[in-house]
């Protein structure tokens, strides 16, 4: 079975929720019954040894090529199961999106997924050019390569984009740039322009002192309503569906520390 790390990952979660017998028994039963038709698709491609199909959730059915540059097994397992950053996916489901900007696009997971499911055009800002071939490969495999544009500076793409944006369109920006969000959004003109062009924002705030976080939130509040996505472990609502089990353990599973938060600006 390709992606044996999925089973390993499930077994780790089995240990994490071991104090809850009903969840433990459900998860153990699913682990032992896993086969090539469950959770992930069997990979028969010799050209793409890291090729998978996302199994559930908002991006269900999207073809995904795993990055060998930086993706860890836990992150990849969650992505191909449709559970990665689950709270963000549930937030995105609420929106009708015409244009999408991904800052810190990495392998293009959000951009390609949204092009297949919700939006018309995706603009990716990624400073590490080693990721560009993988982004284009993911786009090509999903037949959305014509709708992808990659650059390394948001100001370049935003100047171009705002010339064609409709005032009626609803647009989304997701930013995950490992702490550089504080300098990027220290630009009142950028915030104002995003707001005036109907961009909803989802920002991941990384390890920094509370003063920086509070200062950024106040700056954003000059235009947006700012709220924090909850990062507490949630109860399982349906014990027969694996993604709901992962929802309850995702923060531990993604190996995130406590010094981060997702904020929504709408």
Q: What is the pLDDT of residue 3?
A: 47
Q: What is the pLDDT of residue 50?
A: 74
Burial of 6 (0-12, 13-18, 19+ CB in 10 A): buried
Identify whether the C-beta of residue 4 lies closer than 8 Å to the C-beta of residue 80. Answer: no
Q: What is the pLDDT of residue 169?
A: 81
CATH superfamily of 5-265: Vaccinia Virus protein VP39 (3.40.50.150)
**What is the 3-state composition of the chain as percent helix, strand, coil, each rounded to the nearest 5?**
40, 15, 45
Taking the C-alpha atoms of residue 231 and residue 75, their distance in angstroms, rounded to an integer, is: 17
196, two tokens: 């005036």
Identify whether the C-beta of residue 230 lies closer than 8 Å to the C-beta of residue 88. Answer: no
Q: What is the pLDDT of residue 253?
A: 46
pLDDT < 50 stretches in the chain: 1-3, 31, 34-46, 232-253
Per-domain residue ranges for the chain?
A: 5-265
Q: What is the pLDDT of residue 243?
A: 43
Buried residues in 212-246 as b, exposed as e (16+ CB within 10 A): bbeebbebbeebbebeeeeeeeeebeeeeebbbbb
Task: Give pTM, 2 decimals.
Answer: 0.78
Taking the C-alpha atoms of residue 80 and residue 71, their distance in angstroms, rounded to an integer, is: 12
Q: What is the pLDDT of residue 156?
A: 76
């Amino acid at each position: 079975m390709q992606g044996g790390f999925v089973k390993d990952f499930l077994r780790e979660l089995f240990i994490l929720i071991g104090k809850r017998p009903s969840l433990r028994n459900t998860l153990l039963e699913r682990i032992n019954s896993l086969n090539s038709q469950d959770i992930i698709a069997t990979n028969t491609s010799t050209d793409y040894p890291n090729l998978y199909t996302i199994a559930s959730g908002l991006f269900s059915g999207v073809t995904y090529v795993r990055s060998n540059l930086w993706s860890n097994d836990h992150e990849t397992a969650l992505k191909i199961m449709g559970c990665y950053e689950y709270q963000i996916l549930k937030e995105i489901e609420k929106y009708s999106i015409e244009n999408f900007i991904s800052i810190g696009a990495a392998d293009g997971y959000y951009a390609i997924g949204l092009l297949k499911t919700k939006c018309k055009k995706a603009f990716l800002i990624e400073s590490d050019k080693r990721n560009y071939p993988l982004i284009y490969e993911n786009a090509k495999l999903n037949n959305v390569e014509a709708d992808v544009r990659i650059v390394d500076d948001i100001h370049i793409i935003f100047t171009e984009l705002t010339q064609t944006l409709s005032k009626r369109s609803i647009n989304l920006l997701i930013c995950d740039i490992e702490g550089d969000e504080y300098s990027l959004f220290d630009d009142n003109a950028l915030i104002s322009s995003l707001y005036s062009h109907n961009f909803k924002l989802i920002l991941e705030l990384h390890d920094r002192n509370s003063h920086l976080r509070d200062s950024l939130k106040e700056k954003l509040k000059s235009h947006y309503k700012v709220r924090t996505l909850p990062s507490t472990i949630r109860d399982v609502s349906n014990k027969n569906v694996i993604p709901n089990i992962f929802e309850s353990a995702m923060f531990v599973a993604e190996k995130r520390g406590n010094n981060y938060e997702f904020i929504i600006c709408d």
